[in-house]
Amino acid sequence: MSIFLNVQKELKGLTFSDKTETVLLKRLKKACQTRWLSFGASVDSACENYVCILMALKKLEADPTAQGLLMKINNCKFLGALYILREILPSLCMLSKSFQRGNVDFSHIKPRIEYTKDKLQQVVETKTPITKLRQELERDVESMSEMNLTPHITQQLESLLVKYVNKLVENIDNRFEQSLPILTSFTVFDPAKIPAQSHPAFKTYGDNHIDAIGSHYFQALEAVEQDAKKCQLLSEWRSFKYHLLDWKPECVALAKASKSLTATDLAIVKLVKIQEIYPLLSWIGEICITIPMSNAWPERGASAVKRIKTRLRNRLDSSMLNVLLHVTIMVPVLTLLNVKSYERGSEGMEDGKK
């Protein structure tokens, strides 16, 4: 890394102080196979500093590992693969980020997946990575003099692009094939989407989604019992729609002011409080609100443990650590709810004084 940073200094021809060096000089990032964001950041870093990497490896003449790595990456096909990854990974990173949020809206899942697939197919149709690679080689002839984008290599890169994108699309379809219909059906709990009572669609709104949810969660029961449960669930839903319509203004307003709660979350919390009236529907609501969209939120908890239980506080017992984790994780949500309750109480007091 020291040689790599010195190569950057030589290429830029500038002298840095200790403070500006850490800001202006770019370091390589480690690729992680299990995270798209880490993989994307490492590819971007490698593309931006490709010439510096080559020069740094050439200076390590006595290191056989460095020379072997230099032989692997100092060719046009490797650089073309980097450009393909750099063009494709941002779409996958965007999809990955949408599932790392704690308040994923179920109605946004399918459009985001379809957009990602279309974006990947668009890269194949336009062959953007290969075009950018050709332009880069023509612009930087001096540094890339050993690179030669022959028709044979171009054909190999085009074939690689098509195969890679097709496998990615296939992988996305396989991941969401079974879960996507059910996740989409949970959009019925979103009060922002329910039509007005006077609208013709209100009478049958959500019936097909509730039927799909019942078919999924009651499939282990016998046919007679399954039909009875589905009828009860549908009956509860048709009554609950009027509650959802009544809660719509409050839930939507709170969701707009919140960064961690959606209107669906707020509506389901209200539903659970009246579970004695809607036992089956509140059970489905609990499933909906506790579905882990990704492993991002437990990883945030692990990061909170590292911040709290440091080397100097390694004697914290489990009970105190548990309390501190609850404070760290839950306080932002509780603070927002308390602020909204206080604002409503203040408005009521002012109205009373008037």
pLDDT for 101: 67
**230, 208 in Cβ contact below 8 A?**
no
Burial 18-32 (b: 16+ CB within 10 A, else e): eeeeeeebeebeeee
What is the rounded average pLDDT for all residues in the chain? 83
Distance CA 301, CA 102 (A): 12
Residue with tokens 């050993």: 146
Kindly report the pTM of this predicted structure.
0.72
Residue ranges in the chain whose pLDDT is less than 70 = 12-27, 32-34, 101-104, 141-146, 259, 292-297, 331-354
Radius of gyration of the chain (CA): 28
Of the candidates 280, 241, 285, 281, the residue with the CA atom closest to the CA atom of residue 264: 285
Taking only the tens place, the pLDDT of each residue in 46-77 is 888 888 888 888 888 888 998 998 888 888 89
pLDDT of residue 354: 46
pLDDT at residue number 217: 92
Looking at residue 237, what is its pLDDT?
94
The candidate with the shortest Cα–Cα distance to 8, out of 60, 48, 40, is: 48
